Amino acid sequence: MIDTSSTADISTVGPKLSSLRKQLNEVLIGKSDVVEMIITCLIANGHLLFDDLPGLGKTTVAKALAQSMGGRFSRVQCTPDLLPTDITGFNILDQETQTFEFQKGPVFSDFLLADEINRATPRTQSALFEAMAERQVTVDNRTIPLPDSFMVIATQNPVESHGAYPLPEAQLDRFAMKLNIGYPQRSDEIMMLGNSVGNQTDTSPVYPVLDLKDLKSIQAAVANVEVCEAVRGYLVDLGAATRQHPEVELGLSPRGLLLWLRVAQAWASLDNRSYVIPEDVQAMFFPVLRVRVAGQQPATDAILQEIIESVPVPNERMQK
């Protein structure tokens, strides 16, 4: 059940979202479309996977997003020798009291950056399953809740094969969306180089522009965005189409459908609407489906395009 007591009108925090947008665009120059998707994932209370080549700004923008919120931030550099307890924490014996004391790991944060997540072993990757799905961690039969704002921002290199472990479908399904940044335009790279002249760091300083209380109220408002029956039916039909396509091994799960609904609500909110239209569903189609369907060979964007074109778009729209 959504706590409407803390729900705020998106328009009341519009200036703060604009400041967040401006700050992220200064960090990730020339990628305003990617920035919009990042903000959408944030206010949808989802987890985000960056999948792209090295040096394009994945880690930089992930860290900037966390810094912009002013919450507790942790970073884990994933390597093959990383252990599950290096993420969740562990019990240690207090020699004086002869009792075990739990030492919290980096997962106990508001924003966890899992850098190069596909370099961690499957056993270590599985340490994030419960945290991402239920926002809690169980260690030695003790369940400890994580903050409501807990968000995993993961990065991976799609062309790296040495010492890399592909993310299992069960973990991919816990991400709300997958984004590709891509190379910047020539003019944007010239601007980037110009900004670095006389600057000892690669990026501009990042300051908190939203607090976690603001974020919680925005996420509550997003969850209350109206979705009419026709649009819900459209989502269900698209999900069914992924399961029926002969070249898709695993179709969209009900959990994936729920995440798709939430990011569509977030996209509508950023357009200052209190209701979702079919175009919101379509705008989120590729970011949501690429993390679930396109990772399966031989699925490609062409197959995803076939799927979305195979389902009729409803004419009925929610008007408010």
Tens-digit pLDDT profile for residues 238-296? 999 999 998 888 889 999 999 999 999 999 999 989 999 999 999 999 999 998 885 55
Whole-number Å distance between alpha carbons of 305 and 282? 11
Q: Please, what is the end-to-end C-alpha distance for the chain in angstroms?
A: 23
Query: Could you tell me the CA-to-CA distances from 165 to 57, 151, 168, 248, 314 in Å, in that order?
Result: 22, 22, 9, 22, 41
pLDDT at position 301 is 84
Least confident span in 50-64, 131-145, 159-173: 159-173
- In this prediction, residue 201 carries a pLDDT of 67
Which phi and psi angles does 80 have, rounded to 5°?
Answer: -60, -25
The residue whose two tokens read 């991976």 is 156
Percent of the chain with pLDDT strictly greater than 70 = 90
Question: Residue 195 — very low, low, confident or very high, per pLDDT cuts 50/70/90?
Answer: confident
Q: CA dist 284 to 143, 160, 309, Å?
A: 34, 27, 15
Report the mean per-residue pLDDT for the chain.
Answer: 86
- Residue 264 and residue 235: Cα distance in Å, rounded? 10
Per-residue model confidence as pLDDT tens digits over 73-121: 999 999 999 999 999 998 887 777 878 888 899 999 999 999 999 899 9
Give the homologous superfamily in CATH for domain 7-195+213-224.
P-loop containing nucleotide triphosphate hydrolases (3.40.50.300)
* Residue 111 confidence (pLDDT): 94
Q: Which of the four pLDDT bands, split at 50, 70 and 90, describes residue 299?
A: low
- In the chain, residues under CATH classification 1.10.8.80 are 225-315
CA angle 59–195–42, rounded 5-degree value: 35
Residue 229's alpha-carbon distances to 11, 236, 239, in angstroms, are 25, 10, 15
- The confidence score (pLDDT) of residue 259 equals 96
Lowest-pLDDT range, 227-231, 249-253, 291-295, 299-303? 291-295
79-83, 130-134, 143-147, 195-199: segment of lowest average pLDDT? 195-199
Question: Cα(6)–Cα(220) distance, rounded to whole angstroms?
Answer: 7
Q: Where in the chain is the domain with CATH 3.40.50.300?
A: 7-195+213-224
Q: Is the domain covering 225-315 a CATH 1.10.8.80 domain? A: yes
**CA-to-CA distance for 200 and 90, rounded, in angstroms?**
38
- Percent share of the chain, pLDDT over 90: 50
Torsion angle, CA of 285/23/32/283, rounded to 10 degrees? Answer: 20
Region 204-222: what's the mean pLDDT?
Answer: 88
pTM of the model: 0.89
pLDDT at 202: 63
pLDDT, residue 48, reads 96
Residue reference for tokens 């990011």: 263
**192 contact partners, CB below 8 Å, separation of at least 6:** 29, 184
- Which pLDDT value is given to residue 258? 96
Instruction: Please say if the pLDDT value at position 181 is more than 80.
Output: yes
Residues 6+ apart with CB under 8 A from 174: 47, 128, 129, 132, 133, 255
**C-alpha–C-alpha distance, residues 78 and 156, integer Å:** 10
